[in-house]
Structure 1
Amino acid sequence: MKRHLVRSLILCCSLLLSSLMLFPQSAVPSIDALIVAAQDGRRPETERREAVIALGKVGVRSDAAVKGLISLLRDENQYLAGDAAAALAASGSRAVLPLAAALKDSSEPVRWGASVALSKIGPAAASAVPAILRALDSNSLRIRWCLLITLGEIGPSAKAHYGILEPLLYDADADIRWAAVYALRRIDKGRFEAQRSIENVTAVIEERLPALMKELNVPGVSIALIRNGSVAWSKGYGIKDVRTGEPVTTQTMFEACSMTKPLFSYIVLKLAEQKRLDLDKPLREYLDEPFISLKDEKNTVTARMVLTHTSGLPNWRVGYEETDGPLPLYFTPGTRFNYSGEGMFYLQRVLERITGEPLDRYARRTLFTPLRMERIDFGWRAEHDTLIAAGHDASGQHRLKTRYEHPNAAYSLYTSAEEYASFLSRLLRPDDARPELLSSAGVAEMTSRQVSVSVREPMDRPGAATGIAVHWGLGWGINQTLSGDIIYHSGANQSGFRCYAQFRRDRGTGIVIMTNGTGGSELWQRLVRRIGDY
């Protein structure tokens, strides 16, 4: 107690000394005098700021000081205005209602300063919530951003207004979306992290998809949803070929593009479980590949590096893989991430050497046929031709209907959205012990964070699905989010197909989107931006 009294006495003496220096002819300056001093642009900046600090010290017991500090928020000296906002925050609850009123001021700097002060007051500013909500209509992005942060600092006292704020998760501005996440998570964490219902997700799809297809010139789309580890809903939209006008159905097959890679990775990991392939053994011990440079370092490329895209190989060599041209290493294997289709094709050749079969035939025999997956294959088959959609360009015109007769582990898979979702469901049911499937330990390793990927930004998703960082597993991308990891992969082929898939192992949910137009990338991104982590 004695120490506390001594510290208080020292503080009072310091304030008195500052006041005497500012006002040598007046031992105890009035609030009016301090305000005049703070507003006097002819005084040195240090003296003006000392006057503001002094006002903050008496603000807790003076409405006049609060009013004077609010007037200083419009000062051209930003440092002084910042001091005024801090002093108002120090005034606490006495300043809340005057600051709430200041949110309607015609001066943008005053509204900004009032927003800042309220954010620093925090939960004690709860009585200002109605005024804050009205001020969110501001044309100033920085004020809207700060007010959302303020609501987050106020916390659960704003819970009744959660529904009003939720649409801001989809605001056009990324900073506003982030601030809405910050606010809603602190206002009601349970509601913020609640899983979306399948009814909610299908309603979003039905409402938005037709307009997106029209705007982005995407002729056909097929979507499948997974719930509780099983395919729960699927539907086709539009047409699979503008030349014929045939409708897309749940059986329509699309090019899976780069979403071929995760399924191929699954087959590779099954080989590893069977002890026929070592993920960390140099691939040249299975199949020597003629690199043109870094001949010693080529010996270190492993299956794990290929599946995590750290092999050092380019995405595609000049002239493409079919010509079997020179294939250089771009960097020392295992040292950094660089997405590579060539790595998958190299590993495919290793698999074919080990199994003695082409990839497509091996996959049919060991996986697709035993699991009765009929609308899926690593290459074109005559019996599938009438089911396969054609690709279209950015204007929605026919581009190409492919026949990939030579399977490629990086891009040649044909499948329906429903069938691909069926494959994903195998990853979400660890209790399924059929010999064709990966063990639960194998699936866990496949979907675990193997490498960090700083060169990529997380997917743009709302709310609890807001991304923090990107990692890569064994064949899958992984978005670390506020509520857990989302496993995902996208795909784009030059033939005019775009597709996307994601799932949550902890929730047993997932979505597959397949399109037959180059505008499909923008389409699925906009849908995911609304749906989030289902």
Structure 2
Amino acid sequence: MSEISRRKLLKQGTTTFISLSSISLLKLLADSVSAAETVTGNLETQIPQLMQNSGIPGISLAVIRDGELFWNKSFGIKHKYRKTSVNNETIFAAASLTKPLFSYAVLKMAERGEIDLDAPLTKYTDKPLISDSRINQVTARRVLSHTTGFPNWSGSKPVWFNNNPGTKFGYSGEGFLYLQSVVEKITQQPLAAYLQQQILKPWGMKSSSLIWQPEYAETASYGHNRQGEPRAMSQPKAASSAGSLRTTAAEYAQFPIAMMKPGTIDSNNLTEASLQQMLTPQIKLSDSLDWGLGWGLEKTNKGNFFWHWGDLVTFKSFIVASRDLKTGIVILTNSQNGLKICEKIVDGAIGGQHPAFKYWMIDY
């Protein structure tokens, strides 16, 4: 892309994203790589301005094209005052992007006959989680589709039911922690070690972990609150299936890429049948949104996409991808304001209208 074109785009400001959507990757999938590079060149010009306008110190992106990592780019700084640059090896807190990764591992266990998605989880425990008899209706499928009836978090109190299991969507981190305890009992391994062995290492996610690693002292970004004040990343000593993954954009992109590449039962990738099951609607959220097993699902004017967002207050993230189109984007930010610019970036990168951004739980 010429310097004249870059300067022109920069001068036009953030409104350029309206026109960028017409030349997004969705329209360039069948065109040359050089044409697709025009899209990433436009993004590279515009994203710093979007970050400045919304008070976002740092961001890292990974764009998928034709089922492969096409573009990985990072912008900004890791710490407001230290001015160290974010690069493609910078570690971010992925927050709830952990949930679909854990879900993938559970479906792989189901393929191998190690867990029954529709069996009560009490089948695998020594005693029920709580005394309420409805606990016998909580299954892995209901955890992964957020239909357990549990609250999102119970704090220091024993978990309770807001709804009868299977009757209503209710986003619940508590459900994932319950299923995690079952997975750890079945595998006889801590979840961090199990996912490292089964997913992260085979997919080449060498820097990613569900627990704090010593090298993160150098590679991890700080988070930043609404006012831009830095906050140190928390350092989990034990894995949480609901949100403790630390990763890079390029490494996390290996996950949606794996969603596009079915394997065999004996491989680390899910079979086509299991991938289809993961992306089959389990509960309806709205006319255009459903929830599958671990993923949010959306119907768009460009086709069907799977998606999720992450929110650890000072770290926010978003992933949206399509198996049919073999395209997608991972966005990791180090700011409480991070989700404010994700819709514009997705519009510029892959195009289409994405109703996921209207989901009421997303805190911009």
Q: Does the TM-score normalized on the shorter chain lie above 0.5?
A: yes
Q: Comparing 422-431 with 504-513, which one deviates more in the overlay?
A: 422-431
Aligned to 1:206: 44
Aligned to 2:302: 483
- Which letter does structure 2 place at the counterpart of 1:219? P
Aligned to 1:470: 289
- Which letter does structure 1 place at the counterpart of 2:252? Y
- Which letter does structure 2 place at the counterpart of 1:391? G
Question: Are 1:423 and 2:255 an aligned pair?
Answer: yes
- What is the distance in 1 between the residues matched to 2:263 and 2:109? 20
- Which letter does structure 2 place at the counterpart of 1:511? I
The match for 1:253 among 67, 83, 91 is: 91
Aligned to 2:141: 304
Structure 2 vs 1, CA of residues 214 and 450 (structure 1 numbering), >3 Å: closer, same or farther? Answer: same
1:326-376 CA distance string (max 9 Å, x none): 110111000010111111111111100110111001111222223332021
SS in 2 for 1:344: helix
Aligned to 1:290: 129
Greater helix fraction, Structure 1 or Structure 2: 1
- What is the distance in 2 between the residues matched to 1:334 and 1:203? 46
SS in 1 for 2:97: helix
- Which letter does structure 2 place at the counterpart of 1:443? L
Question: Are 1:218 and 2:56 an aligned pair?
Answer: yes
Specify the structure having the higher radius of gyration (Cα): 1
- What is the distance in 2 between the residues matched to 1:201 and 1:447? 28
1:109-148 CA distance string (max 9 Å, x none): xxxxxxxxxxxxxxxxxxxxxxxxxxxxxxxxxxxxxxxx
1:388-433 CA distance string (max 9 Å, x none): 1111011211023210112111111000000000121111122678
- What is the distance in 1 between the residues matched to 2:230 and 2:101? 28
1:436-486 CA distance string (max 9 Å, x none): 1211221121122222113xxxxxxxxxxxxx5101111000111123211
Structure 2 vs 1, CA of residues 250 and 434 (structure 1 numbering), >3 Å: closer, same or farther? Answer: farther
Equivalent positions of 1:442-521 (< 5 A) are 442-454=274-286, 469-494=288-313, 496-521=314-339
After TM superposition, the runs of 4+ consecutive aligned structure 1 residues lying more than 6 A away are none
Aligned to 1:366: 198
SS in 2 for 1:313: coil
1:265-305 CA distance string (max 9 Å, x none): 0111111111000000011111244326xx22111011001
Structure 2 vs 1, CA of residues 168 and 226 (structure 1 numbering), >3 Å: closer, same or farther? Answer: closer
- What is the distance in 1 between the residues matched to 2:140 and 2:41? 42
The match for 1:383 among 215, 224, 228 is: 215
Provide the identity percentage. Answer: 37
- What is the distance in 2 between the residues matched to 1:409 and 1:517? 22
- What is the distance in 1 between the residues matched to 2:173 and 2:73? 30
Cα RMSD (Å): 2.4
Q: Is the 8 A contact 1:291 1:329 kept in 2?
A: no
Structure 1: segments with no counterpart, 5+ residues: 1-166, 172-180, 185-190, 455-467
Q: Is the 8 A contact 2:94 2:310 kept in 1?
A: yes
- What is the distance in 1 between the residues matched to 2:201 and 2:303? 34
The match for 1:235 among 52, 55, 73 is: 73
- What is the distance in 2 between the residues matched to 1:289 and 1:479? 35
Q: Is the 8 A contact 1:229 1:509 kept in 2?
A: yes
Deviation at 1:526, TM superposition (A): 2.8
- What is the distance in 2 between the residues matched to 1:211 and 1:406? 38
Q: Is the 8 A contact 2:92 2:221 kept in 1?
A: yes
Question: Are 1:527 and 2:359 an aligned pair?
Answer: no
Question: Are 1:266 and 2:96 an aligned pair?
Answer: no
SS in 2 for 1:486: strand
Question: Please, what TM-score do these two structures have when normalized by structure 1?
Answer: 0.58
- What is the distance in 1 between the residues matched to 2:216 and 2:55? 25
Equivalent positions of 1:71-220 (< 5 A) are 170=18, 194=27, 198-220=36-58
Deviation at 1:199, TM superposition (A): 2.6
- What is the distance in 2 between the residues matched to 1:304 and 1:204? 41
- What is the distance in 2 between the residues matched to 1:269 and 1:248? 34
- What is the distance in 2 between the residues matched to 1:314 and 1:226? 34
Q: Comparing 408-417 with 439-448, which one deviates more in the overlay?
A: 439-448
- Which letter does structure 2 place at the counterpart of 1:528? V
- What is the distance in 1 between the residues matched to 2:255 and 2:67? 10
1:215-270 CA distance string (max 9 Å, x none): 11111100001111111110110111224322111111100011110101011111
SS in 1 for 2:288: strand
Structure 2: segments with no counterpart, 5+ residues: 1-14, 30-34, 355-364
SS in 2 for 1:373: coil
Structure 2 vs 1, CA of residues 506 and 516 (structure 1 numbering), >3 Å: closer, same or farther? Answer: same
SS in 2 for 1:277: coil
Deviation at 1:529, TM superposition (A): 4.0
Structure 2 vs 1, CA of residues 392 and 348 (structure 1 numbering), >3 Å: closer, same or farther? Answer: same
Question: Are 1:329 and 2:161 an aligned pair?
Answer: yes
Structure 2 vs 1, CA of residues 221 and 489 (structure 1 numbering), >3 Å: closer, same or farther? Answer: same
Q: Is the 8 A contact 1:390 1:402 kept in 2?
A: no
- What is the distance in 1 between the residues matched to 2:268 and 2:120? 26
- What is the distance in 1 between the residues matched to 2:161 and 2:260? 36
